[in-house]
Every structure is written in C-alpha cells, then in structure tokens.
Amino acid sequence: MTTILGLSGSLRRASFNSGLLRAARDTAPEGVTIRIGDISGVPLYDGDLEAANGTPPAVAELNRQLAQADGLLLVTPEYNNGIPGVFKNVIDWMSRGDGLALFANKPVAVIGASPGGFGTTLAQAHWLPVLRTLRTRPWWDGRLMVSRAGGLFDADGTLTDDKTRQMLADFIAGFAASLKTGQETS
C-alpha cells in the first residue's frame, strides 16, 4: 500500500484546490491512498507561542501524517503570483525542530487550480526554493495546472470536468508509480 499525504493550501469551504485534492483522492489507483491533512487549525507562526507551548496539536498531527506517508502532494492556490501565506505558514510550522527531518528526501508533487488562464504556474515555481531548502525530492515527471477552474468545479468545489479528472488521475498514477519505484530501490 502506498500512502500520500495531501494538503490543500486553501481554507475556503468550496475551494477549487480542496476540490482538486478530493478528486485526487477519489481517482487514486488501486493500492494508493491519499490521506487529506487538515491545515485549518494551524495558527500563525509565532516563536513566542512555540517557546511557551511547543508544537501546536494541529501541526503535530500533520507531522505524524507526514511521517507515515510515502509521498506528499501539495495542492496550491496562487495568490498574487505566489504561494498563499496560509499554506507557507503550515509548512514553516511543520518544518520546525524535528519536523525538518520528515521532509528530507520525501517525494513531493505540486498541483493546483486557479480561475485565471495560467493555472498555478507561478505558485508552483514559487514552491521550488522552499522544497529545495527542506531537502525534499520533487517529482519532475508530471505537471498539472488547472486553469479557468470556475467552469470545471460546481458551487461546492467538486470537480465536474471529466477531461480534468482524467488528467488528474494520470498525474496521481504517475506520482504513485514513482513512489513504488523509489520503495523498491531503497
């Protein structure tokens, strides 16, 4: 069994990116489980809060899920041509202290959906220095940027477009296959 931790970088209930993550979970091939992590309880990073209380429970849970995962799927919105602050904050918290070791050599794929015409091209590129700093192993063989998402999702944020669903299924299958290959050679 291959397990992927999926994180959506949006807090919005009907988010295109949360919908894309749910669709990724639903289209994952047999033998692959995508566990959706919850970022909603992660506070803004504050060194004083960390010193006084340690790691917040929501962050500890995400780190536990990351430790148990074979790979990490980041589903990123694009805000002002970059990474959403709330999403970067989650990764910053997760990588504090012993959490940094959880990212080392962890296979990571990045996808995203946007109402604009360029998908999440710039946000995905913006993640690269962060992933390099965390010493992750980005998966370069696939690319998925869903543009004009407003016409592909319903009002509840559910992916309704069959062509996009198939592209997503192919992407997840490719990422999952790379994880299995990595497991065999490890």
pLDDT at 186: 40
pLDDT at 184: 45
Classify residue 105 as exposed, middle or buried by CB count within 10 Å of its CB (0-12, 13-18, 19+): exposed
- Average pLDDT along the chain, 186 residues, taken 10 residues at a time: 97 95 98 98 96 97 98 97 97 96 98 94 96 96 94 96 97 96 53
pLDDT at 180: 84
pLDDT at 182: 64
pLDDT at 183: 54
**Which residues, including other chains, have CB under 8 Å from residue 25's CB and lie 6 or more apart?**
6, 34, 36
Residue 58's alpha-carbon distances to 42, 43, 65, 76, in angstroms, are 6, 9, 11, 19
pLDDT at 185: 40
Q: Domain spanning 2-185: which superfamily? A: Flavodoxin domain (3.40.50.360)
Residue in 180, 151, 166 with CA at minimum distance from that of residue 26: 166
